[in-house]
Structure 1
Amino acid sequence: MGGGRGAQLRASSGAPQRGGGGLNRGPIDIGAQKAANAEAPKIAHLGRRIAELFAPHRVALTITVVLVIASAALAVIPPLLTQRAFDDGLFPPAGHPNLPVLGWIVTAMIVVFVVSSLLGVWQAYLTATVGNKVMGALRVRLFSHLQAMELGFFTRTKTGIIQSRLQNDVGGVAGVLTNTVSSVLGNTVTVISAFVAMIILDWRLTIVAIVLMPFMVIAQRRVGQVRARIAGQTQESLSEMTAITQETLSVSGILLSKSFARQQTEIGRYTDENRNQITLQVRQAMSGQWFFALVSIFLSSVPAIVYLLAGYLAVGGAETITAGTIVAFTTVQSRLLFPLIGLMRVALDLQTSSALFARIFEYLDLKPAITDRADAVPVPTDAALGRVEFDHVSFSYPDADGEKHPTLDDVSFAIEPGQFAAFVGPSGAGKTTVSYLVPRLYDATSGSVRFAGVDVRDIAAHDLVDHIGIVSQETYLFHATIAENLRYARPDATDAELEAAARAANIHATIASFPEGYDTVVGERGYRLSGGEKQRIAIARVLLKDPEVLVLDEATSALDTISERVVQTAIDDAARGRTTIAIAHRLSTIIAADVIFVVEAGRIVEQGTHAELLVSGGVYAQLYSEQVGPHAGAHAESA
Structure 2
Amino acid sequence: MFTSMRQGDEKPKVTRELLLRVLTYAKPYWWHIAGMLLTILASSALSVFTPLIFRQLIDTILPNKDVNKLVMFALALLLVPLLNGGISVIQRKLNVTVGEGVIYDLRVALFVRLQRMSLRFFTNTKVGELMSRLNNDVVGAQNAISNTIVGIATNLIEAAAILIVMLSLEWRLTLGSVLVLPLFILIARRLGERLRVIAREAMDLNAQMNAHMNETLNIGGALLVKLFGRSNDEGERFRQRAAGVRDMGIQRAVIGSSFFVMIGLVSTVGTALVYGYGGWLVIEDKFTIGTIVAFGSYLGTLYGALQGLAGAPVEFSTSMVSFERVFEIIDLPHDIEEKKDALILKDVKGELAFENISFKYSINENIMLSEVKRYGSMANVTAVMSGGKKTTDDGPQTMPKGKNGQSSMVNHQDERPASDSPEAAQTSQAREVALEGISFKAAPGQLIALVGPSGAGKTTLTYLIPRLYDPTSGIIRIDGHDLRDVTLDSLAASIGMVTQETHLFHDTIRTNLTYAKMDATQAEIESAARAANIHEFVMGLPDGYDTTVGERGYRLSGGEKQRVALARVILKNPRILVLDEATSSLDSESEALIQDALKRVMAGRTSIVIAHRLSTILAADLILVMDRGRIVEQGTHDELLATGGLYSQLYETQFRGEKV
Q: Provide the TM-score with structure 1 as the length reference.
A: 0.87
1:59 matches 2:31: yes
**Aligned mate of 2:526, from 499, 505, 510:** 499
Question: Which residue does the alignment assign to 2:332?
Answer: 366
1:79-115 deviation per Cα after TM superposition (whole angstroms, max 9, x unaligned): 2222222222123xxxx32233333433444433333
1:555-597 deviation per Cα after TM superposition (whole angstroms, max 9, x unaligned): 2345565555454444344323211001234555423211011
Question: Aligned AA for 1:146?
Answer: L
1:154 matches 2:122: yes
Give the whole-Å Cα distance in 2 for the aligned partners of 1:71 and 1:43: 32
Question: Which residue does the alignment assign to 2:22?
Answer: 50
Give the whole-Å Cα distance in 1 for the aligned partners of 2:497 and 2:511: 18
Give the whole-Å Cα distance in 2 for the aligned partners of 1:568 and 1:284: 63
Show the 5 A alignment for 1:614-625: 614-625=641-652
Give the whole-Å Cα distance in 2 for the aligned partners of 1:250 and 1:573: 37
Give the whole-Å Cα distance in 1 for the aligned partners of 2:585 and 2:236: 32
Change (3 A) 1:591 1:38: farther
Show the 5 A alignment for 1:79-478: 79-91=51-63, 96-313=64-281, 317=284, 320-381=286-347, 385-399=349-363, 405-478=432-505
Q: CA RMSD in A?
A: 2.4
Change (3 A) 1:290 1:467: same
Change (3 A) 1:437 1:155: same
Query: Cα distance, 1:320 vs. partner?
Result: 1.6
Count residues with an aligned counterpart.
589
Question: Which residue does the alignment assign to 2:412?
Answer: none
Question: Aligned AA for 2:17?
Answer: H
1:399-446 deviation per Cα after TM superposition (whole angstroms, max 9, x unaligned): 557999321112111000000101111222221121111111111111
Structure 2 unaligned regions, length at least 5: 1-6, 364-397, 401-407, 410-431
Give the whole-Å Cα distance in 1 for the aligned partners of 2:277 and 2:578: 87
Give the whole-Å Cα distance in 2 for the aligned partners of 1:139 and 1:487: 26
Q: Check the 8 A contact 1:225/1:352 in 2, yes or no.
A: no
Q: Check the 8 A contact 1:598/1:620 in 2, yes or no.
A: yes
Question: Aligned AA for 2:274?
Answer: V
Change (3 A) 1:282 1:149: same
Question: Aligned AA for 1:514?
Answer: L
Question: Which residue does the alignment assign to 1:636?
Answer: none
Q: Check the 8 A contact 1:511/1:517 in 2, yes or no.
A: yes
Give the whole-Å Cα distance in 2 for the aligned partners of 1:585 and 1:269: 41
* SS at structure 1 position matched to 2:340: coil
Q: Provide the TM-score with structure 2 as the length reference.
A: 0.85
**Aligned mate of 2:44, from 72, 76, 93:** 72
Deviates more, 1:549-558 or 1:602-611: 549-558
Give the whole-Å Cα distance in 2 for the aligned partners of 1:43 and 1:445: 37
Q: Check the 8 A contact 2:275/2:296 in 1, yes or no.
A: no
Q: Check the 8 A contact 2:180/2:267 in 1, yes or no.
A: no
1:116-173 deviation per Cα after TM superposition (whole angstroms, max 9, x unaligned): 2222211111011111111111111111111111111001111121111112211333
* SS at structure 1 position matched to 2:434: strand
Give the whole-Å Cα distance in 1 for the aligned partners of 2:575 and 2:620: 17
Q: Check the 8 A contact 1:37/1:233 in 2, yes or no.
A: no
* SS at structure 1 position matched to 2:577: strand
Give the whole-Å Cα distance in 2 for the aligned partners of 1:527 and 1:471: 17
Give the whole-Å Cα distance in 2 for the aligned partners of 1:97 and 1:36: 70
Q: Check the 8 A contact 2:467/2:483 in 1, yes or no.
A: yes
Relative contact order, higher structure (CA 8 A, sep 6+) = 1
Change (3 A) 1:587 1:195: farther
1:516 matches 2:543: yes
Give the whole-Å Cα distance in 1 for the aligned partners of 2:442 and 2:73: 92
Question: Which residue does the alignment assign to 1:635?
Answer: none
Query: Cα distance, 1:452 vs. partner?
Result: 1.1
Give the whole-Å Cα distance in 2 for the aligned partners of 1:340 and 1:375: 55
Change (3 A) 1:352 1:185: same
